Chain A
Amino acid sequence: MEAVRRMRPALGTFVEAGASASAGLPALDAAFASLALAQQRWSFQDPASELSRINGSDGGWVAVHGDTVRLMRLARSLMLASGGYFDFTVGGAQIRRGSLPDHGGLPALERGSAQDVELRSGAIRLRRPVRLVLDGIAKGFAVDLACRAMRRGGATSGWINAGGDIRVFGDIELPLALRGEDGGIRPCGVLRNAAFASSRVSAARDDSFPADIIGPIGLAPQQGVWSVLARSAWRADALTKVAAIAPDDMRGALLARLGGQLA
């Protein structure tokens, strides 16, 4: 069986979409269109995104797409389930550190709690002026949606690799390689009907690798490349942040409880 695949710039990185050749380019185009929508909705940098409208709101309900509500619900649940090791309310702190832009609005709390985010069908409300940041989960979620778009576009098997956030579906075994801290690449296995994500934590900021992870108070992320295997890409993506922050003696158990596995 032949595969068709394309790589385009999307979500701030290089995204490869692949599918069985029988599905053809329309399935890949559907995936990239889905990724473009994700970028429009959940980019912190873009002042016109749904996320920026939420962050700039004054405590009232903000109408958003159903997928945004779903994503927020996942983020909130994981924040609670992980005891704050995954935290999507730290945008205020990241603005202060200069790793995210300030679009104005009410003076922001450095960080908040899961209870600050209220959800209902098609709308979101912030109970306190926190700045939500979806960097740790939205790319993975976008990969999940892009896979769904490919399936709907007729692909029975395929994959998305959004700068290392990877999901594979159908009868494909996708060989994986891992880029280490030094930039060197080593193979690490094959993936089938699962998702894989990595995050790199480095001592110094590096514009080639834009990542900034903030731990719960008193805990700093540990340097290295953290890779996690999970059923869905949003979960793998988010759990790399948990892996980077969790203390050594509880990392494995915490990830397993949250539905992931350190790779």
Chain B
Amino acid sequence: MNAHRWNAFFLPVAVLAGPTAYATDYLTVAQAQEQLFPGAQFGEQTLKFSGDQRDRIKAAAGVRQRNDEMKVWRAEKNGKLQGWLMVDEVIGKHEFITYATAIGADGKVLGIEIMSYRETHGGQVREPSWRKQFVGKSVSDPFKLDQDIQNISGATLSCRNVMDGVKRLLVIQQMFLKA
């Protein structure tokens, strides 16, 4: 493979413009509800945790419950409990993530969806004027993704914080949400 051939597949960027933050929104709460419990009806409730309850959550889950409130949606279909949808956040060293977890009536995880993903090094993020340099250059006029759809490579981030968060949500479901 020589460099010439590769240029058709990978176009490096030279120009850098002003800083902006990197963030992607995948799902709204309503979209997460529909995806994780299709066709269900939802009842919203807010769990409030006392200091003592947060200590118990931490003791059982091994991770701290940061907030003293959590929104939960109870999912039902034809009056029958399907499970709960919980929306939670984790803050990592490099990322800020809002995610939805669906827990079934049997207490098992049905699905996890990242709702929004933000890199926290916003001040260092630089974005070029992507579009300009590609105008008229494509052979078959491929589908151009929006600027905010850029994908990040580089050091691989561990998703352990979200998996720990899900463990915490399972503890909360067992302690506070009854079938």
**Residues of A with Cβ closer than 8 Å to B?**
1, 3, 5-10, 12-14, 16, 18, 20, 25, 157, 159, 161, 163-166, 170-194, 196-200, 202, 207-211, 225, 227, 229, 231, 256, 259-261, 263
B9 touches A194 (CB 8 A): yes
A176 touches B153 (CB 8 A): yes
Q: Which of B3-48 contact A (CB under 8 A)?
A: 3, 6, 8-13, 16, 22, 24, 26-27, 35
Q: Separation in Å of the A57 CB from the closest CB of chain B?
A: 29
B114 touches A8 (CB 8 A): yes
A179 touches B155 (CB 8 A): yes
Q: Quick one: which of B112, B124, B142, B158 contacts A185, CB cutoff 8 A?
A: B124
Q: Quick one: which of A184, A198, A210 contacts B153, CB cutoff 8 A?
A: A198
A198–B153 alpha-carbon span in the complex (Å): 6
Query: Using Cβ atoms and an 8 Å threshold, which residues of chain A touch B117?
Result: 7, 14
Query: Using Cβ atoms and an 8 Å threshold, which residues of chain B touch A188?
Result: 12-13, 153
B135 contacts partner chain A, Cβ-Cβ < 8 Å? no
Q: Which of B87-143 contact A (CB under 8 A)?
A: 92-95, 97, 112-114, 117, 119, 121, 124-128, 130, 134, 138, 140-143
A259 nearest CB neighbor, chain B only: B1
**Residues of B with Cβ closer than 8 Å to A?**
1-3, 6, 8-13, 16, 22, 24, 26-27, 35, 92-95, 97, 112-114, 117, 119, 121, 124-128, 130, 134, 138, 140-145, 147, 149-160, 162-163
A225 touches B10 (CB 8 A): no
The verdict on A164 contacting B134 (CB below 8 Å), with A7-B26, A7-B117, A256-B1 known, is no
Q: Separation in Å of the A33 CB from the closest CB of chain B?
A: 12
Q: Separation in Å of the A101 CB from the closest CB of chain B?
A: 15
B151 touches A184 (CB 8 A): no
A256 touches B2 (CB 8 A): yes
A159 nearest CB neighbor, chain B only: B151
The verdict on A186 contacting B26 (CB below 8 Å), with A16-B151, A163-B156, A194-B10 known, is no
Query: Using Cβ atoms and an 8 Å threshold, which residues of chain A touch B142?
Result: 157, 170-173, 192
Selected A-B contacts with CB under 8 Å, 6 pairs: A165-B156, A172-B143, A175-B149, A178-B154, A180-B154, A200-B156
